[in-house]
Amino acid sequence: MKSTCLFFMLISFLSWSQNKQILYGFSEIPQSLLMNPGGKVTNDWYFGIPLLSHIHVNAGTSGTTVYDLFANDGLDFNLKLGKAIYSMQANDFFTVNEQLELFSGGFAIGSSYNKDQYISFGMYQELDFIGYFPKDYAILAYEGNQSNINRVFDASDFSARGELISVLHVGYNKKVNDNFTMGVRGKIYSGIMDINSTKNRGSFVTVNGTNNFYDHIFNLDLQVRTSGLSAVTDDNVSSDKVVSDIKKGLFLGGSLGLGFDVGFTYQLNKQWMVDGSLQDVGFIGHSKDVENYGVKGNYVFEGVNPIFPETGSGQTAEEYWDEIENEFEDLFEVDTTNTKYTTWRPIKLNASLNYAFGKKRDKECNCLPDDDGYQNAVGLQVFTINRPKQPQMALTAYFFRRIFKGLQAKATYTIDSYSFSNIGFGLSANIGSMNFYIMADNFLEYQNIYNAQSVSLQLGFNYIFKKNED
Amino acid sequence: MQKSVFKYLIIVVSFALATISCTKDVDFNQANDILLTPVFESDLVYINVPANKFLVEGHEVLNLKDSVNIDFFQDEFIVDYLVKAEFMLETTNTINRAFTVQVDMFDAFNQLQHTFSFSSGASPNNGEVVTQHIEVFEGNSLVALKNTTKLVFTLTIQPGEPINESTPGRIILKSKGTFYLNIDSLL
């Protein structure tokens, strides 16, 4: 009970998503190929500065913000807590997504006069968590069952998953013709840690009874599956061992899985362009260090019925009571198994429609304008991610501008589960061959970061080589 | 030229992020003020006995007695957070005999911690005579409850019209506990 309460609180703090709406389609940044392997390639080769080439954190809550709960406003904390519990729904969620690129690179291949293919590769580490607000559990803990007779508490309200993985990937991009580019990226996942509890079923309800005041009806089918967790939960394990286990897991020593990304870009005419991609179509087979916990059973409790002695010889209700205790123990007994299991990666779908305009007027050069000749672009992007309860969607409108040579900026406006007022901004700057980019969203909320429903930040450094610098 | 633009850009961006991402006053220590006050109700015991249950080999017995061992009240969670409890007992009598229900609560060393009883009137025409008793556990009696590991129920028939195999009616007892919790810490 206590740890349940603590868990509610913890997930309320760790409220974080994983849309990278600013990076998507930002073809000057090599990492945009990770979002669409069939995106446009604008360099001949590049490598990411190790550990610094792509740092991404993204956090969001569709419900109560940290500020709602912890503002130093003199209001009673418990009133605020109650308000948060009642205002949130079971579909409200908290997510965290973090990625760190360990290394990456890419190079064009093909005939020397027409390098129409591009190989990119790399390795990144990713942490992904989503937890839904366990509304019915929270209400039960907050109110008890006295004021909730006949209310069915839904056990499926508890739904969460988290994973720590590393991904080794190689992508192939081919410019099929002047208008069409496509690409695919193969991925090997190494699951370092995984915990998921997304298929809980059942209910608890107290109804008016016949033999006694109530019938307490338990119907539970709960399951938590974990892999790689004992490395950190086992008390006897030293921190050195934990670090070495994580390192091993990072470099394909964990539970392995396979997946792919696929995408395309199609130039409708000089100014209009559509693209789309699917990311992380794949699975991880959890086989290492698997521990699963399950609680399953049905029981109706209506109190203890002492069997009064038939003969007055002192026979007691002990046996009957033992039976009830056994029933309860059976019901709540946690079955621990080591059965291997498979998780699917959260599939992401991206698509966008883009319009470029405003040609650069170059007085000195009379060279042929390539398709980068437009200085501005506007467009609409759609992002969808498959989540345990239901997919999450985001719609983004953007404005892209080449400010001057080697400096591009993109501003976005996004509508999603978190808010209708998400303004994002990103910059990519090239100084010689060094590329630096930084992007963040929810700028309107930065006046008070604790009140943000979601924040997202990406930055990185690359070394980019272009033969035909524009 | 380009290098200085780049430097300038980094400074501007980091300055912008540092200044615009300010925070308003929050106080995470408020979590220490947490107080959850759920109220749970649970069935306790129930009894449903016909009049002839009081006959043993043709002779009337005055006492029906039975005990229930229970370690629920000694659970750490209950000891820490239970601030008040109420037992509600309800009898429905359709036998033409008055009776008394007595509940004795014993600790692990078989020492009596608390006792309470109540009586129901007889039912001369076998209509339902409903009697309710609420036992409140607060202060000392709450301490007694938290020490309790055994409950002994005694049903004592008061003198009256003799009972035989065909005596109509029965005694029904229903009971529930109401548990008031004050959860004031998360750890």
Tens of pLDDT, residue by residue over A407-437, are: 999 999 998 877 788 889 999 999 889 999 9
Selected residue of B4, B11, B26 to mutate for chain A interface (largest A Cβ count, 10 A): B26
**CA-only gyration radius of chain A, Å:** 27
Residue B159 inside a domain? The answer is: yes
Q: Pick the residue from chain B with its C-alpha nearest to A405.
A: B2
Q: Quick check: B161 and B96 in contact, CB under 8 A?
A: yes
Residue B5 confidence (pLDDT):
57
Count of CB atoms situated within 10 Å of the CB of B17: 14
Q: Which residues of A touch B48 (CB under 8 A)?
A: 211, 305
Q: Which residues of B touch A431 (CB under 8 A)?
A: 2-3, 5-6
Interface contact B42, partner A, CB < 8 A: yes
Residues 91-150 of B with CB under 8 A from A: none
A365 within a domain of the structure (yes/no): yes
In this structure, is residue A470 part of a structural domain?
Answer: no
CA dihedral for A470, B5, B6, B9, sign (positive or negative): negative
CB B152 within 8 A of CB B143: no
B83 Cβ under 8 Å from any chain A Cβ: no
Residue A81 is assigned to a structural domain of this protein: yes
Does residue B63 sit within a domain?
yes
Please report the pLDDT score of residue A470 as a whole number.
43
In a domain, A199, yes or no: yes
Please check whether residue B31 touches A, CB under 8 A: yes
Angle at A265 between CA A434 and CA A427, to 5 degrees: 30
Q: For each of chain B's 187 residues, which pLDDT tens digit applies?
A: 445 555 665 566 555 555 455 556 777 788 788 888 999 999 998 988 888 888 877 788 888 888 888 888 888 888 899 999 999 999 999 999 999 999 999 999 999 999 999 999 999 998 999 999 999 999 999 999 999 998 888 889 898 888 888 888 999 999 999 999 998 876 5
Q: What pLDDT sits at residue A468?
A: 59
Say which CATH number the domain at A40 has: 2.40.160
Show residues of chain B in contact with A81, CB under 8 Å.
34
- Beta strands in A23-159, from DSSP E residues, in sequence order: 45-48, 55-61, 93-111, 114-132, 153-154
- CATH number for B69: 2.60.120.660
**A78/B34 Cβ within 8 A:** yes
A86 Rama class: left (phi>0) / alpha (psi -120 to 50) / beta: alpha
**CB contact (8 A) between residue B56 and residue A310:** yes
Choose among B179, B176, B184: nearest CA to B80: B184
Chain B nearest CA to A147, separation (Å): 8
* Nearest residue on chain A to B187, alpha-carbon basis: A2
pLDDT tens readout for residues B146-158: 999 988 888 898 9
B165 close to A (CB below 8 A) = no
The predicted structure's pLDDT at residue A234: 67
What is the tally of structural domains in chain A?
Answer: 1
Tell me, yes or no, whether B28 lies in a domain. Answer: no
Q: Which residues sit opposite A57 in a β-bridge?
A: A98, A457
Cβ–Cβ < 8 Å for A192, A166: yes
Q: What is the mean pLDDT of each run of 10 residues along chain A (470 residues)?
A: 38 49 92 94 92 87 78 84 89 88 93 87 93 92 93 94 94 94 96 92 94 94 90 68 75 88 95 95 92 91 72 52 76 86 93 90 51 82 88 92 90 84 90 91 67 79 76
A274 belongs to a structural domain? yes
pLDDT of residue A63: 78
- The first and second tokens of residue A323, run together, are 């039976």
Overall domain count for chain B: 1
Asked if residue B187 belongs to a domain, the reply is: no
Write out chain A residues lying below 8 Å of B155, CB-based: 308
Q: Looking at the domain assignment, is residue B66 inside a domain? A: yes
Joined together, the tokens standing for residue A461 give 């450094």
Q: Going by C-beta distance under 8 Å and a sequence separation of 6 or more, which residues neighbour residue B24?
A: A67, A71, A447, A448, A450, A451
Q: Which chain A residue shows the shortest CA-CA distance from B154?
A: A308
CA A390 to chain B, closest CA, distance in angstroms equals 31
- Domain membership of residue B50 (yes or no) is yes
User: What is the pLDDT, as a whole number, of residue A315?
Assistant: 47
* ipTM attached to this prediction: 0.82
B3 is a domain residue = no
In a domain, residue B27? The reply is: no
Token output for A158: 């508890």
Per the structure block, which two tokens stand in for A149? 């007779």
> How confident is the model at residue B186, as a pLDDT?
67
Q: Counting one residue from A and one from B, how many pairs have CB atoms under 8 Å apart?
A: 177
Contacts of A450 in chain B (CB under 8 A): 23-24, 26
Question: In terms of residue numbers, what domain contains A451?
Answer: 2-465
Decide if B42 and A211 are in contact by the 8 Å CB cutoff: no
Domain hosting residue B141, numbered range: 36-181
Which residues in chain A are closer than 8 Å to B22, comparing Cβ atoms? 446-449
